[in-house]
Amino acid sequence: MYLKAALNWEPIVAIRPAQFGRSLIAITFGLSFNASISAQETVTAPSPAVVTTTPVESTTPPVPAATTTEANSLSDAEILERLPKLPTAQLQNLLSVYARLKNDQMSDSIMAELNRRAPGSITAEMTRSMRNEALGIDNASPNPYEVEETQIDVLTTRKQYAETIAIMEQLRIQKLGGRYFPLEGSAIAGKLFDGNDRA
């Protein structure tokens, strides 16, 4: 389109020295220019746009690639055979991974071996906790004061401190027999209250 307009410009320039009226020149140029546009639109096809492709960074994390060590590693059956010989720390590591992989057969076998080595309720509880932790199960016991804690949190957020203190005092007298609250660091707080640790 631009090229056509330039070509049509030449006759107009040629006319100007001949003292033609300015308006006539303008009309002539305008007509020729419009004609060139229409001609251009009918003849030429739109030039294809140049598409530049930029590498898009992948948002998905890379899949861990397999290594050559896998060929040399033991099978599950071989692990089971060696369980009695393996150190306890390695058994615990294996249990944590097999439990995460939800391989119940291997997990049960390793737990049985761990419990065989150190029979007792504490060991069994620890092993079960370790497995639950691996499975993402909460090991914490239910909080007996959850309702009161929620109430206190809400009141404190609303800055209703008098009501908060009243609920806490009621809880302390009725459920804790007038003792200190079983909070973290309560032993230190108790000593401070008694004045034992004061300088």
Q: How far is CA 168 from CA 145, 151, 158, 172, in A?
A: 11, 10, 16, 6
| Cβ–Cβ < 8 Å for 8, 29 | yes
| Chain residues 120-139 in contact with another protein, contact rule CB under 8 A | 136
Question: Is the CB of 69 or the CB of 157 nearer to another protein?
Answer: 69
Whole-angstrom Cα distance, residue 183 to residue 169? 14
Q: Choose the binding region for another protein from 26-34, 85-93, 115-123, 171-179 (rule: CB under 8 A).
A: 85-93
Collapse the DSSP code of 56 into the 3-class scheme (helix H, G, I; strand E, B; otherwise coil) and give the result.
Answer: coil
| Cβ–Cβ < 8 Å for 139, 129 | yes
Q: Choose the binding region for another protein from 37-45, 50-58, 73-81, 172-180 (rule: CB under 8 A).
A: 73-81
In the list 16, 82, 116, 117, the residue contacting another protein (rule: CB under 8 A) is 82
If one asks whether residue 77 binds another protein (CB under 8 A), the answer comes out as: no
Q: Which residues contact another protein by CB under 8 A?
A: 61, 63-64, 67, 69-70, 72-74, 79, 82, 86, 90, 93-94, 96-98, 100-101, 136
